Amino acid sequence: MRRVSATVLAVFLGIAACSTYQLFPAEVMDGVDPNFDFSQWRMIPNQALERKIQLGGSILHSERKDANVTIVVTQLPIVEHPAYGPKDMGKRSGEFAVTFMGQIEPPMLQRGNRLIVVGTTKAAKVVTVDDMPRSLPSVSAKCLHIWNTGGRDIADFPSYGAGYETLEEDTFCATAQ
């Protein structure tokens, strides 16, 4: 009986390890454009208004004002291996602005932290980065998942074992849209 239980447990763990990592509820992901072209949107941001998208990146700058947060993000590709999330591949695609209605703790908004956003494209937004106003394509966030990486890759944080630094991460969904 123990051998059967151990085998069943091993099969379930194997299936779980091979399954897709879900950060957001299915209803949040419903309708996300799987063929969204970030480069084209960056060049002409107002041509693709109100498209539901998912993007990954690294926080460049953030500003909190009341219950609203504006985050300037350097776009990074979302990878699945060796760890799930945005990964710096050495190529920069550009920046975009994320507006989020809700509270996010300050440590999660630090420069270099990785994030994935699901939201709707909006008109270009003027933001100030390093005392310079810039017009960037913008996303109104439905949900954000943020890894407090301090600028390192997510794969640099082993998820098990004694003596390893744990990676703080959290999902935030907008209080209103």
Q: What is the pTM for the complete model shown?
A: 0.82
pLDDT at 127 (0 to 100): 93
pLDDT at 10 (0 to 100): 44
pLDDT at 160 (0 to 100): 54
Q: In whole angstroms, what is the distance from residue 58 CA to residue 37 CA?
A: 18
pLDDT at 82 (0 to 100): 73
Please report, to the nearest 10 degrees, the dihedral formed by the alpha carbons of residues 110, 112, 113, 117 taken in order: 110
The total number of residues written for the chain in this structure: 177
Third-level CATH fold of 22-173:
OB fold (Dihydrolipoamide Acetyltransferase, E2P) (2.40.50)
Q: Which residues pair with 54 in a beta bridge?
A: 118
Tokens of 48: 């693709």
Is the separation of the CB atoms in 116 and 96 below 8 Å? no
Q: In whole angstroms, what is the distance from residue 57 CA to residue 146 CA?
A: 10
pLDDT at 151 (0 to 100): 84
pLDDT at 80 (0 to 100): 85
pLDDT at 163 (0 to 100): 57
Name the E strands within 77-176: 78-79, 85-86, 95-101, 114-129, 132-147, 169-173
Residues of the chain with pLDDT below 50 are: 1-2, 4-18
